Amino acid sequence: MNHILSYITWDAAPAILQIGKFKLLWYSSMWAISIIVGYVLMRYLYRKSGFDQETVIDLVQYVFFGGVIGARLGDVLFYNLDFYMRQPIEILKIWHGGLASHGGVIGVLVALYLYARSRKEVPLIQVLDRAAVVTPLLGAFIRIGNLFNSELYGKVTDVSWAFVFAKVDDYPRHPSQLYEALMLTGVFALLMYLFHKKKDLPDGFLVGVFFVLTFGLRALLEFFKADAAYTQLLSIPLVIGGLVLIWMAKNRRFEKK
């Protein structure tokens, strides 16, 4: 390996500022930014689609609570069931950390279903398509929060851009949080391009592409993460589901007869 000084030493504080006992954390700030950006972008997509923009505030509330609850339950069921069985009260303490993105996706899907049921003027599949455009960018913000928390770091490596996460150990590692943030930003850019340039896209195509690219690429990025083999397996059903959605969209299965 190269000398340790040739790498990027990452020792960022998780708090942006602290006044007494109050802490403004990078992670919670990234969540707040993602909610605001998501609201603005969904209003924009709704306006472009001729939908009622005033319902977006309801949509954001559904997605926020569905995402947080799903992500928490995903961490409980997929990763730390034994711990939470011994300490069930910890399930409620989300400020202690422990949010699983795969569980968050399931929670958001349930929330979108409930939202669409309450707003029948917009079909569920069209809500999913527009939410799929926005979601990757929001995920990118969350991964930046993970970077400031020095969590979800990568495997030891000797690449010149490796990060030494000082709060973890002295080994240079892949900055896998940045890899995923860049990947998600790229997926967002592609989906936004398709939304604007391909006016004849069938319903369900964008959300299908979202699942295939986001979780297909994520499964590949897991090779650079520390202890992520199990997470790769969780991505497989979502990729398959995305392929099914694309096939159904191409065959116009979601269009009203």
User: pLDDT (tens digit, 9 = 90+) per residue, 115-145?
Assistant: 988 887 789 999 999 999 999 999 999 999 9
**Contact in structure between 88 and 44 (CB atoms under 8 Å):** no
How many structural domains compose the chain? 1
Cα separation, 146 vs 77, in Å, equals: 21
Q: Does the pLDDT at position 114 exceed 70?
A: yes
Average pLDDT over residues 208-228: 92
3-state DSSP of 130-167: HHHHHHHHHHHHHHHHHHHCCCCCECECCCCCCEEECC
Span 53-87, pLDDT tens digits: 989 999 999 999 998 898 888 888 887 888 888 88
Q: Does the pLDDT at position 197 exceed 50?
A: yes
Higher model confidence: residue 196 or residue 98?
Answer: 196
**Domain assignment of residue 100, yes or no:** yes
* Helix, coil or strand: residue 1: coil
Q: How confident is the model at residue 99 (pLDDT cuts 50, 70, 90)?
A: confident
Q: Does the pLDDT at position 37 exceed 90?
A: yes
Cα separation, 201 vs 88, in Å, equals: 46
Distances (CA, A) of 199 to 80, 118, 130: 44, 27, 13
Higher model confidence: residue 187 or residue 79?
Answer: 187
What tokens appear for 45 in the block?
A: 């997509």
Q: Cα-atom radius of gyration of the chain, to the nearest Å?
A: 19
% of the chain exceeding 70 in pLDDT: 95
**Domain assignment of residue 207, yes or no:** no
**Domain assignment of residue 246, yes or no:** no
In terms of DSSP bridges, do strands 163-165 and 8-10 run parallel, antiparallel, or are they unpaired?
Answer: parallel
pTM for the model stands at 0.88
Average pLDDT over residues 219-234: 83
**Domain assignment of residue 215, yes or no:** no
Cα separation, 102 vs 90, in Å, equals: 20
Q: Which domain holds residue 84?
A: 4-180
Residue pointed to by tokens 């896998």: 176
**Domain assignment of residue 219, yes or no:** no
Q: Does the pLDDT at position 1 exceed 50?
A: no
pLDDT of the residue at 207: 97
- Angle, helices 26-49 vs 56-74, to 10°: value is 140
The secondary structure of residue 203, as a DSSP letter, is: T
**Domain assignment of residue 121, yes or no:** yes
In terms of DSSP bridges, do strands 172-173 and 163-165 run parallel, antiparallel, or are they unpaired?
Answer: antiparallel
**Contact in structure between 198 and 251 (CB atoms under 8 Å):** no
**Domain assignment of residue 213, yes or no:** no
Mean of pLDDT over the chain: 90
Cα separation, 158 vs 4, in Å, equals: 10
Span 2-20, pLDDT tens digits: 455 578 999 999 899 888 8
Q: Residues 6 or more apart from 146 whose CB is under 8 A from it?
A: 27, 152, 177
